Amino acid sequence: MQLKDMNRQIEENRIKPAYLLYGREVYIIEEIIHKLKSTLIKDFAEFNMAILDGSETSLSKIKEACETLPFMDQRRLVLVKETELLKGKRKIFSEEQEAELIEYLASIPQTTVLVFSVHGDIDGRRKLAKAFTKLGTSLDCDKLRGNELISWAKAQFESRNMIISISDIVYFLKLSDYESKNSQKTLQDIENEMMKICSYISPGNEVTKASIEKLAAVSLENDIFKLIDCIGKKQAAEAIKIFDEMTVQGTSAMMVLSMIARQLRLMLQTRELKEAGYSPKQIAQKLEIHPFVAGKALSEGTAFSGNQVSRAIDECAQTDLNIKSGLIGERMGIEILIAELCLKK
């Protein structure tokens, strides 16, 4: 079963008695459940929707929830989350009960829609998984790709009254690094990026490539601020975690190194100008940077002495040389640099 088939069934109110939703894209799973709820339950949601913890729920509780009549409505929704029958070891269900549940899928009351949801992968060899595949109501909620992803992004922007061209949507998605093989980003991450753009641009106005680039740069700079803050507080593990997250999200390791060195230079320059009697506003004007960036460099600089910052800049340059000379790998070289900067006094 494909996502478009699932959405069509809901839109046309041809909803089947039972579904299995699983996969890495929790956003899609939750969105489908929301659509099912909106379509099936018109009133009294607290009576007409049952949510069961699959790690604790027995067969009798599932059947009881399914056979409870809806309250002043046509149908009710029963959601079973993270059942042991689709992953992990069987603890609650016996083999006979599993077989009984599979048989029950064909006789669910017409007044009930039963949904099993699993966040992440399932064991496709399990009997329950095979049963849903046979029914044709099993949906793998994996990452969206190609035109399906573009259509989703377009609908999200339009729902927020934003104007954006297809080419700029493609550019935005490429910059997000969502589709990269090793990317850990989800649709929730993409939606968060969209919300940043929408808070920056007034409704009804056009989202352009320039505005996308500007906000992406701001996001990257904020990550560098957090990384430098952690170095100043000697929090090596947290600093390395931020670095790793930035690379996972698509920022090159060498770009991170370059921005660390840039921020350190700004810290040194703002310190020297402050000592020379310049105000924060004058410092920003002289260095041709945003006042916030100047203020951030000044506050971060209080965690270091002038000599510490100078030595850190030199160590960044040495790390850059070692990487480009092939003496050490990019990630390892920068992680070692971060750890050493946190140890310096």
pLDDT one-digit tens code per residue, 25-67: 999 999 999 999 999 988 888 899 999 999 889 999 999 999 9
**Dihedral sign, CA of 19, 24, 25, 26?**
positive
The more confident residue out of 40 and 216 is 40
Q: Does domain 217-343 have CATH number 3.40.50.920?
A: no
Taking Cα atoms as reference points, which of 159, 123, 157, 117 lies closest to residue 141? 117
The more confident residue out of 340 and 180 is 340
Query: Which segment of 10-14, 83-87, 276-280, 341-345 scores lowest on mean pLDDT?
Result: 341-345
- Per-residue pLDDT band for 219 (boundaries 50, 70, 90) equals low
Q: Does domain 3-140 have CATH number 3.40.50.10090?
A: no
Residue ranges covered by each domain of the chain: 3-140, 146-207, 217-343
pLDDT one-digit tens code per residue, 317-344: 999 999 998 999 999 999 999 999 988 6
